[in-house]
């Protein structure tokens, strides 16, 4: 019976692993399978009306995420600027690291959907780095994916698992800080292989940079929600490094033009959350079709400032034609991600609300005992790799938490570990690598070599996630 209960997830993974089906039809088939299994084999009776209601709850949970995905893509297209002519050619390791470890992550936190990866990859290729090395180095821009797209994937995981978002933010920051110790070493090794080795100064400056960034990330997650925390932590580091590198010339009009949309976004998000009058006005119009789920106020969504600022930037730079072009690019790039999110979260809702997840993890816990939490980082990592999305990873892994019934603090650590593992694995997912190879004209073989170069990146992230997931229960036994 266990194999029957878990068959929708196994079917999705098998279809993706076959290489013959992409994520969208695979998720559609798996969602249909979850409904069939729930109707015929769930521990509790499930009618067709129940299935419709369960799937509808998933769509309701996914709606805020899809709005931010589409709005983030619109914002990215509206705010993008052409690379300067002097931005092409060999660069120092410091410049390379800034593009991959600061600028790329910053843009990813604001927009998501791999846009930070695209920006970092473009910068690395312009520096003359070979294709497979460039693809691998640009993947490091994804190390803050839990906060990507204004943290919308982490928010979905919070909704599905029932773990408060505030409990996840600072835990994810601590796990990321632990990983950052290894991350720099891995980046240096790859950059050295690419012919841009770190200097002695780099080996001092970059640990200090991360020593400043990680406490800022932790502090931001204790003050703000995940929507703002990533941007709030990265912004001062990005500004400080820019001014240190360029001095007064760093305050040029071009620099101001590049920074303006992101500065406006941070201010707008902060005002929406911390100015009582703005908060009350934006949340006045809200909906709650499911009493057990959170109320949704469309005007309080991060999608609103993304769209409004994007409209202003596009209109300023190219008038109505630029707005229309950004809108078209948004739909071309975003409809698949939005549909995938709806389907995967809908499947997760069916599995959780029909009792499949609880029954599945109950059996697994009886079999492996205190080792059962490791299932979530495993499923999260596989989900992140196959879907290229931490929203997809959360939709696959978070339903399993419902069947474990751990203490609230333990549940928060387990959920954070699964989110972290899934987020890290998006960096080398086929979705992300294919996006990169298409962008720079790399071959399939070069994409495969890039993935192999990132094995240490993946293993280090998953190892840390597994230790974090198991630590609370193992310590309890001592």
pLDDT tens figures, 314-327? 888 788 888 888 88
Q: Is the pLDDT of residue 84 over 60?
A: no
Average pLDDT over residues 101-116: 84
Does the pLDDT value for residue 21 go beyond 70?
yes
Taking only Cα atoms into account, the Rg of the chain, rounded to an integer number of angstroms, comes to 22
Residue 475: the pLDDT is 65
pLDDT at 474: 64
Q: Which residue has the higher pLDDT, 21 or 146?
A: 146
What's the whole-number mean pLDDT along residues 249-274? 77
Sign of CA dihedral 118, 120, 122, 124: negative
pLDDT at 127 over 90: no
pLDDT digit string, tens, across residues 165-220: 999 999 999 999 999 999 999 999 999 999 999 999 999 999 999 999 999 999 99
277 pLDDT more than 80? yes
Q: Is the pTM of this model over 0.85?
A: no
Are the CB atoms for 416 and 170 separated by under 8 Å? no
Give the pLDDT mean for 366-388: 80
87 has pLDDT over 60: no
What is residue 477's predicted lDDT score, i.e. its pLDDT?
Answer: 59
| pLDDT value of residue 85 | 42
What are the φ/ψ torsions at residue 197 (nearest 5 degrees)? -70, 150
More confident residue, 115 or 468: 468
| CA atoms within a 13 Å half-sphere pointing along the CA-CB vector of 13 | 16
Are 386 and 429 spatial neighbours (Cβ–Cβ below 8 Å)?
yes
Rounded Cα–Cα distance for residues 308 and 321 (Å): 16
The residue ranges of every structural domain in the chain are 2-477
250 falls in which pLDDT band (50, 70, 90)? low
């Amino acid at each position: 019976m266990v194999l029957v209960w878990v068959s929708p997830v196994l079917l999705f993974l098998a279809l993706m692993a076959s290489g013959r089906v992409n994520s969208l039809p695979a998720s559609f088939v798996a969602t249909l399978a979850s409904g069939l299994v729930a109707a015929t084999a769930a521990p509790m009776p499930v009618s067709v009306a129940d299935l419709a209601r369960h799937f509808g709850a998933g769509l309701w949970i996914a709606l805020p995420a899809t709005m931010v995905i589409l709005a983030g893509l619109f914002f990215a297209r509206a705010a993008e600027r052409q690379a300067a002519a002097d931005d092409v050619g060999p660069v120092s390791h410091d410049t390379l690291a800034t593009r991959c470890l600061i600028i790329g992550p910053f843009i990813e936190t604001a927009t998501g959907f791999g846009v930070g990866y695209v920006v970092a990859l473009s910068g690395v290729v312009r520096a003359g780095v070979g294709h497979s090395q460039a693809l691998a180095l640009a993947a490091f821009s994804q190390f803050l994916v839990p906060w990507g797209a204004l943290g919308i994937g982490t928010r979905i995981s919070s909704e599905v698992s029932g773990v408060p978002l505030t409990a996840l933010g600072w835990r994810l920051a601590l796990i990321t800080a632990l990983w950052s110790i290894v991350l720099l070493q891995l980046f240096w090794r790859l950059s050295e292989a690419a012919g841009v080795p770190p200097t002695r100064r780099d080996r001092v400056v970059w640990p200090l940079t991360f020593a400043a960034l990680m406490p800022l990330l932790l502090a931001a997650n204790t003050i703000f929600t995940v929507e703002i925390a990533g941007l709030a932590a990265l912004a001062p580091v990005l500004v400080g490094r820019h001014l240190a590198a360029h001095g007064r010339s760093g305050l040029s009009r071009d620099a101001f033009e590049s920074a303006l949309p992101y500065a406006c976004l941070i201010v707008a998000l902060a005002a929406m959350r911390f100015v009582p009058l703005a908060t009350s006005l934006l949340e006045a119009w809200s909906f709650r079709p499911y009493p057990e789920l959170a109320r949704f106020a469309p005007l309080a969504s991060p999608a609103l400032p993304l769209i409004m600022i994007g409209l202003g930037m596009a209109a300023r730079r190219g008038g109505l034609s630029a707005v229309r072009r950004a809108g078209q690019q948004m739909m071309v790039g975003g409809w698949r991600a939005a549909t995938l999110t709806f389907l995967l979260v809908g499947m997760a809702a069916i599995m959780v609300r029909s009792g499949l997840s609880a029954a599945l993890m109950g059996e697994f816990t009886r079999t492996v005992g205190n080792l059962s939490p490791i299932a979530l980082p495993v499923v999260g990592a596989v989900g992140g790799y196959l879907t290229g999305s931490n929203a997809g990873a959360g939709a696959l892994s978070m339903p399993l938490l419902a069947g474990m019934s751990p203490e609230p603090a333990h549940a928060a650590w387990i959920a954070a570990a699964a989110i972290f593992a899934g987020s890290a694995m998006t960096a080398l997912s086929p979705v992300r690598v294919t996006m990169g190879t298409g962008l720079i004209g790399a071959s399939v073989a070069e994409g495969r070599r890039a993935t192999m170069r990132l094995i240490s990146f993946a293993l280090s992230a998953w190892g840390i996630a597994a230790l974090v997931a198991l630590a609370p229960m193992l310590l309890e036994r001592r």
